[in-house]
Amino acid sequence: MSIDFCGIALAHPLVNGSGTFDAIAARRVFGQALDERFPFAAFVSKTITLRPRTGNPPPRLWEAQAGMINSIGLPNKGLERYMAEDLPELARLPAPLIVNVMGSSAQEIAQLLRACDARTEIAAIELNVSCPNVKTGLDIGADPQQLATVLGQVRPTSSKPLIVKLTPNCADVAACAVAAESAGADAVSLINTLRAYAPAPPHTPGAPPGPWLGGGTGGLSGPAIRPVALAQVAAVAARVAVPVVGMGGIQTARHARQFLDAGATLVAVGTESFRDPLAAGRIVREFSQASAC
C-alpha cells in the first residue's frame, strides 16, 4: 500500500500527529527497537518555534470522557538547538522527516521555513497555524483571508512540500483549506485539538473553583473528537485537490479507514500512542488484514 505524498514515497498511510510522539525520547526508553519497529511511514516532529519555549505551567493534563485535555504550551528548544541537536538524531529514523513549525508572524514563519529549506534531512514542512494572533487572540489559521495572506508571504521562502495544519476552532474549515491551497499549500492536515476547559476537581468546600490546567484552557483530543474530525476532514477533502492528512481520535484500522473513506490521503495517530507506543504498528497490521476494513 505504498503511497506518494507530495512526491515523497511512503510505505503506508499512517504517520504520527505532531507532539504526540518524541522519537528521541522513545529511543532512550525503547532502545534500538524504536528504529527496528518504527511504526510511522513518516515522522512528524513536535512544533518548534524560533525561540525556545518552556511551555505552560503544570498541571498540563486532564482526562476527559473518551479523551484527554492537554495544555502543554508548545515547549521546545527553539529552531537553532533543534537543528543542531535533534535533526541529526531524527535523520537516523527509518522514515522521512516532516518538521512542524509555528510562528506568530509572517516574518517568524518565513525564518523557520528558510531554515528548514536548507536542510536535506527534512522531507517536508508542516506549518501549525493554530497559533494565537497576538492582536485578535484568534488562531491565525481561523480566518481564510488572514491565512492566505500569511501563506502568500511565506510560501516562496521554501521549496519543500508545505503541509498546512489547519485549526479546527473556526467557522468554516473548508474555506480555510481552500485559502491555504490557493496560497500554495501542498497539503493540509487536520484536526488539531478542540479548545476545551477542565475545571479543578472540587476540593474543600468554599475553595474558589477554577481551571485545573496551568495554562487555563487546553485542547481536547482522542476518540471524543473523532466525529468532529471526520466531519471537518470530509468537508475539506470535498473542496481541495491537494492531499489531506486526517487525524482525530484514531484508535483502530477501522477508524483510520473512516478517514481515508472521507477523503484523507494519510492518517495520523496521536493520543492513542499514549495508550500504547506501538498502537500505530497495530493499526498498520490490522490494515493488512481485510477484516479490519
Ligand X SMILES: Cc1cc2nc3c(=O)[nH]c(=O)nc-3n(C[C@H](O)[C@H](O)[C@H](O)COP(=O)(O)O)c2cc1C
Interacting residue with ligand FAD among 4, 63, 80, 117 (CB under 6 A):
63
CB of 245 to ligand X, least distance (A): 9
Q: Rounded to the nearest 5°, which phi and psi values hold at 157? A: -75, -10
Interacting residue with a second copy among 6, 48, 72, 220 (CB under 8 A):
220
Interacting residue with other proteins among 53, 111, 152, 182 (CB under 8 A):
53
Given the complex with ligand X, which of 51 and 208 has the nearer CB atom?
51
Of the candidates 212, 136, 214, the one whose C-alpha atom is nearest the C-alpha of residue 170 is: 136
- Integer Cα distance of 258 and 234 in angstroms: 10
How do strand 8-10 and strand 3-5 relate by DSSP bridges? antiparallel
Binding partner of 221, given ligand FAD, ligand X, a second copy, none, CB within 5-8 angstroms per partner class: ligand X
131 catalytic? Reply is yes
286 Cβ contact list (under 8 Å, min separation 6): 252, 253, 254, 292
Q: Which three cell numbers stand for residue 82?
A: 533543534
Given the complex with a second copy, which of 8 and 292 has the nearer CB atom?
292
- Integer Cα distance of 185 and 188 in angstroms: 7
**Which residue type sits at 157?**
T
Q: Is 189 in the site for other proteins (CB under 8 A)?
A: no
Binding partner of 33, given ligand X, other proteins, ligand FAD, none, CB within 5-8 angstroms per partner class: other proteins
Largest CA distance in the chain: 60
Q: Is 263 in the site for other proteins (CB under 8 A)?
A: no
**Residue indicated by cell numbers 472521507:** 262
- Integer Cα distance of 71 and 1 in angstroms: 36
Kindly state the helix (H) or strand (E) to which residue 244 belongs, with its residue range: strand 244-247
Task: Exactly one of 6, 116, 131, 176 is catalytic; name it.
Answer: 131
Footprint of a second copy on this chain (CB under 8 A)?
62, 64-67, 69, 138-139, 142-143, 169-172, 194-199, 202, 205, 209, 217, 220, 223-228, 230-232, 234, 249, 254, 257-258, 261-262, 290, 293
Q: Which residues bind ligand X (CB under 6 A)?
A: 17-20, 46-47, 70, 72, 74, 100, 128, 165, 192-193, 221-222, 225, 247-250, 269-272
Catalytic residues: 131
